[in-house]
Amino acid sequence: MALVFLIGIGGVQEFSGFLDIPLLIRFYFMLAGFFNYLLGRALYYSSFRFIGVTQSIAISSTYPIISVAFAVTVLGEKVSVLQFVGIGLTLSGVYILLMKGRK
Amino acid sequence: MNRLRGQTEAVLASVCFGLAPLFAKKGLLSGLNPLYGATIANATALLFMILFFLAAGQHKGWTSATKQGVMFAVLSGLCNSVALVSYYWAMAIGKVAIVVPVTCIYPLFTMVVAYLAMKESEVIDVFTVIGTLLIVIGVILTI
């Protein structure tokens, strides 16, 4: 459905623009689609069967932290003090949810 | 065991969601219109999903799908699509510094809706509320 919307929006713009995109750039977006919309979503929906929707959505919504970790290690980007505080709070929240109900 | 599997899957989903923007960023560095990128990403996922269904013989499972199950799956897709288009719309007319943190509060909406509409299957206790709040605040600070 999202694809139909996007193609609709793309139609308003220049549709032939797709043909001009270099192969390597297309490959990057194909990888992004594979990890995000296919593998990520499959795991995300699968987790609903075993833990609550609230817990699953809260845990999977921590992806910006993962992005920051990859951006620092792969792209060499810098992390601010505020971001460190944010990462600490997020990880604390995940820890509480993972430990919830365990003895 | 099932609980551990669910938690592991949710964490791995987060890793996949977190890894994807890196590839998108690499692609966008070429100056490509993000809409084209999003369309390629969606089309790839759809293609691989169809191939996977056919290769794994999962398409036979369609016969066991109930009307209610299909209806909720379609509703979920509709919500995702409206969210995606609204996000682009908001980005076009609003400031990124406001739009992105606001979109990150969706786990709070899920928690409230789950509490109101799914009381029989969702356990919303004080740990869930504190954990979710910490994650949302932490993510907003990280962006």
Report pLDDT digits (tens) over A78-87. 888 888 898 8
Across the interface, which of A38, A44, A54 has its CB nearest the CB of B110? Answer: A54
Is the separation of the CB atoms in B28 and A25 below 8 Å?
A: no
Complex-level ipTM: 0.76
The torsion angles phi and psi of B2, rounded to 5 degrees, stand at -60, -40
Encoded amino acid at B101, one letter: P
CA of A38 vs chain B CAs: smallest distance (Å): 5
Calculate helix-pair angle for A53-60, B2-28, nearest 10 degrees. 40
Task: Tell me the CB-side half-sphere exposure of residue B64, using CA atoms within 13 A.
Answer: 4
pTM, entire model: 0.75
Cβ–Cβ below 8 Å for B7 and A59: yes
**What is the tally of helices (H) and strands (E) in chain B?**
6, 0
Q: Residue-wise pLDDT tens for chain B (143 aa)? A: 678 888 889 889 988 888 887 888 788 877 777 778 888 888 888 888 888 888 877 777 777 788 888 888 889 888 888 887 787 677 667 776 677 777 888 888 888 888 888 877 778 888 889 999 999 998 888 87
List Cβ neighbours of B78 (8 Å cut-off, separation of 6 or more): A1
Choice between B97 and A92, residue whose per-residue pLDDT is larger: A92
The torsion angles phi and psi of B83, rounded to 5 degrees, stand at -60, -45
As given in the structure block, the two tokens for residue B14 are 């987060």
Choice between A41 and B97, residue whose per-residue pLDDT is larger: A41
Residue B133: predicted pLDDT? 92
CA of B52 vs chain A CAs: smallest distance (Å): 10
